[in-house]
Amino acid sequence: MRLAVIGGLASGPAAAAEAVRANPEAEVILYEQGPYISVGSCEIPYFVADQIQDASTLEVLTPEQFEETRGAKVRVQHRVESIEPDKSRLFVESLVHGSRHEEYFDRFILATGARARKLGIEGEDIKGVFSVRGLEDAVAIKSWLEPEAVRHVVVIGGGFIGVEMADAIRRRNLRVTILDPQGRLMRGVLSENMSTPLIDAVQASGVAVRAERATSVEADEMGRVASVRTDKGEIIGCQSVIVGIGIEPRTELAKAAHIKIGMTGGISVDDQMRTSQRHVWACGDGIEVPRMVDGKKILWPLSPIARRTARVAARNAAGVKPADRFTSVTPSVAVKAFGIEVGSVGISGEEAKDAGFDVEVVQIKHWSRVSSMPGAKRLHVSYVVERGTGRLLGGSLVGEEGAALRADVLVPWIRGGTTVKEIAEEMDLVYNPPIAPAMDPLRVAAAKAIRAISESKAKR
């Protein structure tokens, strides 16, 4: 069997390595149009902030190391132009030599990933405007900041990429302004009340958060960033712009091969990661996956899910029996920036209502450790709970410590259908004065949810 894996970063290498493990007799070839196949993209803000000094440390495995240790062949700087599954072939161009040729394969795995979303405004391609996606972006941003006379950076987007990059730039002692149309941070992850501690910490560091939308980027006489114009008619002088407004799946190859694209814009796959073409599987940031709790198809472009879907796609493409299956994703994300931890798992109150759930949303403020212990910090917890069953559907935590890893605890609770009554009365969480209080914030929030549900029933 010959198996082609198209795309690098997280899912492509994971799929290629797993396919070799699952079927050592198969010839597996990984194609990547860039020079790198395995990069720690989430480390980019810390590299820009100089917390990580050497760019090479972001490269997890070189192509040579991957071939030697994982057993698959690697073709970097090779762009796959098209695949024809019904004819068992692909067309590929060598970007180094400019040559084009066709190769024959029995099966294909698309790991084409996603690209940074564009603003769609005038001037976004001038010098000094950057997106944040790959190692090349990281090196370009840092190279621009170091020799250039950069004093002010505008970060467009208040999501976790924007927040992390704003923190990285501030650590370089540069002035930073975040533009978000609603003046919110982590919108879609945190409710307005829950985002307050983060916004307070961001503003306390000297970073401005402005409820404005960028309408154009303007250049100086040298063709470099000079300012950003907003929908409020403001002109913000700056020497660099970083765009962090999300991603969009790379689906050109899939579309050209007549592979079905889902409502999210991602490649549609079944629970075996098989596409609408019989001999093509897909994985990673370019596919849509079912969300735990309600089964809604979503895009969740983070490396843990990329690797999970890659393993399933690879085993099935390699012919493992019985077929391996992907169940669902429990959306989870964590950010640490400006001295604040944010952890969020499951669905938000707004998402729950959109999905047809009757929910109670509660919020508490407690302590990260016993309050009399040195270093105890306030911790905010919010739960989304189904009223009828008391089942936990989602939760978020914000504080200076103890938020992110506590959020991990919510994942098995949500997947297992745990109720707030079980959390409050049966979960034996750790108690140790310098680590956690006797009544952990997770149990305190559960107790409040029980009371809120009871009061809601009484009013009805």
**Is 173 among the domain residues?**
yes
Same domain? 107 vs 255 = yes
Which residues are 210's β-sheet partners? Answer: 179
| 72-81 residue pLDDT tens | 999 999 999 9
**Dihedral Cα 454, 455, 458, 460, nearest 10 deg:** -110
Helix (H) / strand (E) containing 304: helix 303-317
Same domain? 198 vs 261 = no
Residue 333 backbone class (left: φ over 0; alpha: ψ -120 to 50; beta: rest): beta
Q: Is the pLDDT of residue 418 over 90?
A: yes
**Is 56 among the domain residues?**
yes
Same domain? 420 vs 362 = yes
The answer to whether residues 142 and 169 touch, using CB atoms and an 8 Å cutoff, is no
pLDDT, average across residues 156-177? 96
Tell me what pLDDT residue 287 has.
Answer: 98
Same domain? 397 vs 433 = yes
Same domain? 302 vs 362 = no
Same domain? 298 vs 345 = no
**Is 327 among the domain residues?**
no
Residue that finishes a domain, picked among 208, 227, 245: 245
CA angle 57, 311, 102 (to 5 degrees): 85
Same domain? 89 vs 134 = no
CA 243 to CA 370: how far, in whole Å?
Answer: 41
| 314-350 residue pLDDT tens | 999 999 999 999 999 999 999 999 999 999 999 999 9
Same domain? 87 vs 150 = no
**Is 44 among the domain residues?**
no
**Is 323 among the domain residues?**
no
Residue 121 makes CB contacts below 8 A (sequence gap 6+) with 214, 215, 216, 217
Same domain? 157 vs 175 = yes
**Is 214 among the domain residues?**
yes
Residue that finishes a domain, picked among 214, 245, 276: 245
Q: Is the pLDDT of residue 460 over 90?
A: no
Same domain? 89 vs 199 = no
**Is 300 among the domain residues?**
yes
Range of the domain at 215: 129-245
CA 425 to CA 370: how far, in whole Å?
Answer: 20
Tell me what pLDDT residue 456 has.
Answer: 86
Residue that finishes a domain, picked among 200, 225, 245: 245
Same domain? 149 vs 76 = no
| 276-318 residue pLDDT tens | 999 999 999 999 999 999 999 999 999 999 999 999 999 999 9
| R_g of the chain computed on alpha carbons | 24
Domain CATH code at residue 135:
3.50.50.60
CA 303 to CA 350: how far, in whole Å?
Answer: 25
Tell me what pLDDT residue 147 has.
Answer: 75
CA 27 to CA 250: how far, in whole Å?
Answer: 25
Give how many domains the chain has, as a whole number.
3
**Is 334 among the domain residues?**
no
For 163, phi and psi rounded to 5 degrees? -65, -45
Same domain? 214 vs 230 = yes
Tell me what pLDDT residue 459 has.
Answer: 79
| 33-68 residue pLDDT tens | 999 999 888 999 999 999 999 999 999 999 999 999
Which of the residues are catalytic?
42
* Exposure of 402 in the CB half-sphere (CA atoms within 13 A): 22
Identify the three-state secondary structure at position 26. Answer: coil
Domain CATH code at residue 378:
3.30.390.30
β-pairing, 225-230 vs 235-237, is antiparallel
